[in-house]
C-alpha cells in the first residue's frame, strides 16, 4: 500500500494548549491540503488535535497560525542544508520513506552520512530527532537495520512508522513487532489507515486503535492518514470519521474541491467554544465519500497532492488537487 519513510525530528518545544478543552497530546494530522475549511474545524476550541505536519519543513501560514503544534520534516535530501535554519524556532521531522523507490528512495549509507552532517547537530539545540520512518512493507525493517548499522553515532529519540492495511490485529501485530525489535525508541505512527472500503469497519478501526494507542506508554504520537482525504465531506464539514478523530462537530464548511486559496478567513461558520464536543456520530458516509476513500484514491491523491510538489522541490505550501 502506501509506503513512506521518514526521518522524523521533533523538538521538545511544545505549545501549551491552554484552551477550553484539553487536547490529546498524541493525536495529530498529516495535512496535505491547502484548503482553509479543513484547518478551521481541526483548529477549533473543541478539537482534540494537538499537532500537525505536512511533509515539509516550513508551515504555510494557515498551519503556522493554527493553535496546533507544527512538526517540520526534512522529506529527502533536497534543501537539507537549510533545514536547520527552518526548524530553529520549532520542532522538526526529516526524510520521507527512504526505503521506497517512489518516495525519498535513499541508500541507508547515504542517509546516515546526511544524518550526521545535517540532522545530528540539531541535538545540541534541544531538538528531538526521529529516526527514519520505514514502510510496513518487507523493505522497511532491513532498511532501518542497515541505516542503524551505518549510523552508529546517530542518536535517535523516537521512531516514526507508517502502516496501511486491514484489521486491528494486523496493525497491533506490526507495531508490537517493531517495538519488540527496537524497544529503546518511543514510536510515532505518522501515517496509518484502515484501507477497507466498508466505512463501518474503518470507523470501528479508528475508534479502537486511537483508544488503544492512547493507553500505550511507548506510543508517543499518531496521525491518521489523511484528514484531507477521508475525514471531510465534499463541502469541508467533518464526516463521522472526522468527528470521531477531532472529537468535535463541524464549525465551518467550504468546498474542498475548489482548489487552493491564499486566505483561510472565508468563513461559513467559525470557532464556537460553547458548542458541545461531539459525543454521538452521524451514520457513516455517502457513496461519494466512500469513492474518495478507496485505497486507490488515497494513493492517487497522495501522489498528486504530496509527492509531486515535493519531488520537484517545492517545500512549504502544498496544493490540493
Ligand atoms: C491556543 O488557544 C488558547 C486559548 O484558546 C490560548 O491561550 C493559547 O495562547 C493559544 N495558543 C496559540 C499557540 O495560539
Ligand atoms: C486557530 O485558533 C486560534 C485560537 O485558538 C486562532 O487565534 C487562530 O487564528 C486560528 N487559526 C486558524 C488558521 O484558524
Ligand atoms: C563515531 O564517533 C567516534 C568518536 O567521535 C569516532 O571515532 C567514530 O569514527 C565515529 N563513527 C562513525 C561511523 O562515524
Ligand atoms: C460492513 O461491516 C459491518 C461491520 O462489520 C457489517 O455489518 C456490514 O455488513 C458490512 N457491510 C458490507 C457492505 O459489507
Ligand atoms: C467506540 O467504541 C466504544 C466501545 O469501545 C463504543 O462504546 C463507542 O460507541 C464507539 N464509538 C463509535 C463512534 O463507534
Ligand atoms: C459546495 O458546492 C456545491 C455544488 O458543487 C454547492 O451545492 C454547495 O452549496 C457548496 N457548499 C459550500 C459550503 O459552499
Cα distances (angstroms) measured from residue 180 to each of 237, 255, 281: 40, 44, 36
Region 113-136 average pLDDT: 87
User: Ligand 6 mean position to 279 CA, how many Å?
Assistant: 27
Nearest alpha carbon, ligand 2 atom 8: 66
Provide the grid cell at 90.
520549532
Q: From start to end of the chain, where are the E strands? A: 7-11, 24-30, 49-53, 69-70, 73-74, 93-94, 127-132, 159-165, 187-194, 219-224
User: Which residue did the predictor score with more confidence, 282 or 38?
Assistant: 38
CA dist 83 and 126 (Å) reads 15
CA dist 254 and 35 (Å) reads 8
pLDDT of 165 over the 50 cut: yes
Q: So what's the pLDDT on residue 160?
A: 93
What are the beta bridge partners of residue 191?
A: 162
Q: So what's the pLDDT on residue 257?
A: 52
Contacts of 15 (CB under 8 A, 6+ apart): 67, 68, 69
User: Which residue did the predictor score with more confidence, 317 or 186?
Assistant: 186
Provide the grid cell at 30.
498529516
Q: Which ligand is nearest to the CA of 16?
A: 1
pLDDT band at 306 (very low <50, low <70, confident <90, very high): very low
Region 134-162 average pLDDT: 92
Residues counted in the chain: 321
Residues 62-97 as b or e (16 or more Cβ within 10 Å = b): bbeebbbbbbbbbbbbebbeebbebbeebbbbbbbb
pLDDT tens string 12-32 = 223 333 445 789 999 999 877
Region 274-294 average pLDDT: 56
Average pLDDT for the chain: 75
Among 166, 195, 196, 198, the mutation site with the greatest number of ligand 4 atoms within 8 A of its Cβ is 198
User: Which residue did the predictor score with more confidence, 126 or 261?
Assistant: 126
pLDDT tens string 178-193 = 999 999 999 999 999 9
pLDDT band at 241 (very low <50, low <70, confident <90, very high): very high
Lowest-confidence range among 102-116, 157-171, 184-198?
102-116
- Which of 89-98, 237-246, 273-282, 284-293 holds the top average pLDDT? 237-246
Give the start-to-end residue ranges of the domains of the chain: 28-246
User: Ligand 4 mean position to 231 CA, how many Å?
Assistant: 19
| Residue among 127, 216, 226, 225 at smallest CA distance from 178 | 216
Cα distances (angstroms) measured from residue 10 to each of 140, 200, 212, 218: 21, 34, 23, 16
CA dist 165 and 196 (Å) reads 8
158 exposed, middle or buried (CB, 10 Å; 0-12, 13-18, 19+)?
Answer: buried
Q: So what's the pLDDT on residue 133?
A: 86
User: Which residue did the predictor score with more confidence, 296 or 28?
Assistant: 28
DSSP, collapsed to helix, strand or coil, labels residue 83 as: helix
Q: So what's the pLDDT on residue 244?
A: 95
CA dist 249 and 28 (Å) reads 17
Q: So what's the pLDDT on residue 299?
A: 39
Region 238-256 average pLDDT: 87
CA dist 191 and 223 (Å) reads 6
> pLDDT exceeding 70 applies to what percent of the chain?
68
Q: So what's the pLDDT on residue 262?
A: 41
- Which of 150-154, 285-289, 296-300 holds the top average pLDDT? 150-154
User: Which residue did the predictor score with more confidence, 15 or 209?
Assistant: 209
HSE-up (13 A, CA, CB side) for residue 243: 19
> pLDDT exceeding 90 applies to what percent of the chain?
33
pLDDT of 9 over the 50 cut: no
Region 275-298 average pLDDT: 52
CA dist 305 and 314 (Å) reads 12
Nearest alpha carbon, ligand 4 atom 14: 198
Nearest alpha carbon, ligand 5 atom 5: 208
Among 196, 197, 200, 293, the mutation site with the greatest number of ligand 4 atoms within 8 A of its Cβ is 200
Asked: is 28-246 a CATH 3.20.20.80 domain? The reply is yes
User: Which residue did the predictor score with more confidence, 56 or 265?
Assistant: 56
Amino acid at each position: 500500500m502506501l509506503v513512506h519513510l521518514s526521518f522524523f525530528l521533533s523538538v521538545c518545544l511544545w505549545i501549551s494548549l491552554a484552551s477550553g478543552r484539553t487536547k490529546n497530546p498524541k493525536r495529530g494530522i498529516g495535512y496535505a491540503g491547502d484548503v482553509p475549511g479543513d484547518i478551521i474545524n481541526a483548529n477549533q476550541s473543541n478539537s482534540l488535535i494537538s499537532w500537525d505536519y505536512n511533509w515539509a519543513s516550513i508551515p504555510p501560514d494557515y498551519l503556522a497560525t493554527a493553535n496546533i503544534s507544527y512538526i517540520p520534516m526534512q522529506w529527502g535530501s533536497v534543501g537539507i542544508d537549510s533545514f536547520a535554519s527552518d526548524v530553529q524556532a520549532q520542532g522538526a521531522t526529516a526524510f520521507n520513506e527512504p526505503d521506497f523507490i517512489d518516495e525519498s528512495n535513499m541508500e541507508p549509507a547515504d542517509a546516515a552520512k546526511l544524518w550526521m552532517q545535517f540532522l545530528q547537530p540539531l541535538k545540541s539545540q534541544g531538538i528531538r530527532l526521529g529516526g527514519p520512518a520505514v514502510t510496513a512493507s518487507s523493505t522497511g525493517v532491513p532498511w532501518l537495520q542497515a541505516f542503524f548499522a551505518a549510523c552508529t553515532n546517530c542518536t535517535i529519540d523516537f521512531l516514526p512508522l507508517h502502516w496501511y492495511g486491514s484489521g486491528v490485529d494486523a496493525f497491533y501485530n506490526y507495531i508490537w513487532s517493531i517495538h519488540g525489535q527496537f524497544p529503546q525508541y518511543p514510536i510515532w505512527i505518522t501515517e496509518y489507515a484502515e484501507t477497507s472500503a466498508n466505512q463501518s469497519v474503518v470507523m470501528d478501526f479508528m475508534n479502537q486503535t486511537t483508544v488503544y494507542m492512547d493507553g500505550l506508554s511507548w506510543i508517543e504520537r499518531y496521525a491518521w492518514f489523511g484528514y484531507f482525504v477521508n475525514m471531510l465531506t465534499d463541502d469541508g464539514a467533518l464526516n463521522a470519521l472526522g468527528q470521531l478523530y477531532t472529537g468535535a462537530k463541524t464549525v465551518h464548511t467550504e468546498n474542498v474541491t475548489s482548489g487552493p486559496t491564499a486566505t483561510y478567513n472565508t468563513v461559513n461558520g467559525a470557532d464556537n467554544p460553547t458548542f458541545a464536543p461531539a459525543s454521538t456520530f452521524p451514520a457513516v458516509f455517502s457513496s461519494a465519500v466512500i469513492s474518495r476513500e478507496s485505497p486507490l484514491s488515497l494513493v492517487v491523491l497522495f501522489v498528486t497532492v504530496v509527492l509531486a510538489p515535493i519531488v520537484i522541490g517545492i517545500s512549504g505550501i502544498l496544493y490540493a488537487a
